Amino acid sequence: MYNLKFNSSSLMLLSNCIYDNISQFLNKSFLFLGCRYDSEDIKILQKLRACGNRKKQYVLEIFKPNCQYISQYDWNVIQGNFCDPPFKNNFCDVVYWSGSIEHLEKNEIPKVLKKIESLAKELVLIETVQGNYPQGPLQTPWGINKYEEHLSTLYEQDFIDWGYKTVVGGNSWESLRHIGAYKTLTK
């Protein structure tokens, strides 16, 4: 199935995982949950296309201006909420959720994870900040994005408790650390 290798010295655990393991992701359909106009996700989508991934790539984003911006890349962009995604079970091969899970209340996360896992046929990849990293609504070129507020403090053990394998990344001199969590699904 997947033999993923992570560079734990990097903060960008998922994007580097996809870059470093690109051959495992060719011919896979992807659902990206959340995709900010200035995010690494856009580079990953471009890299998948450049490497020959011709399968469908979908983006589910809640903030309308982000949807409008990323639509220019000719991806399937759907405005919606990942707490109630508008897709059927086994919708795609891989669900990629980076930098968004911390925007949920912690008590909502297990229920949302079950829904997200039902959408993927093969793999769920998640990345988030570790620990208490306060962030309020963010100013964007189109106004305030209220959905950017961090509502949860998450640790590696949370993901282990939810059944995920994990890796924590970042340089030792950085106060900001990221958690990469992944679950291979068998259906």
Give, in order, the Cα–Cα distances in Å from 37 to each of 46, 103, 150: 13, 17, 18
In total, how many domains does the chain have? 1
Tell me if 28 sits within 8 A of 43, measured CB to CB.
Answer: no
- Residue 60, SS3? strand
At 92, the amino acid letter reads: C
Phi-psi region of 88 (alpha: psi -120 to 50; beta: other; left: phi over 0): beta
Give the domain range for residue 78: 35-165
Q: What is the chain's pLDDT, residue by residue, as a tens digit (187 residues)? A: 788 777 766 556 777 788 888 888 888 999 999 888 787 888 888 888 888 777 788 999 999 999 998 888 878 999 999 899 999 999 999 999 988 999 999 999 999 999 999 999 999 999 998 888 888 888 888 889 898 888 999 999 999 999 999 988 875 555 667 888 999 998 6
In a domain, 46, yes or no: yes
- The answer to whether position 151 is within a domain reads yes
Question: What pLDDT is recorded for position 9?
Answer: 60
- pTM here? 0.89
CATH of the domain at 89: 3.40.50.150
Tell me, yes or no, whether 14 lies in a domain: no
- pLDDT of 148 reads 87
For residue 175, the model assigns a pLDDT of 61
Residue 187 falls inside a structural domain:
no
In a domain, 49, yes or no: yes
3-state secondary structure of 99: coil
Residue 172 domain flag: no
What DSSP designation does 66 have?
H
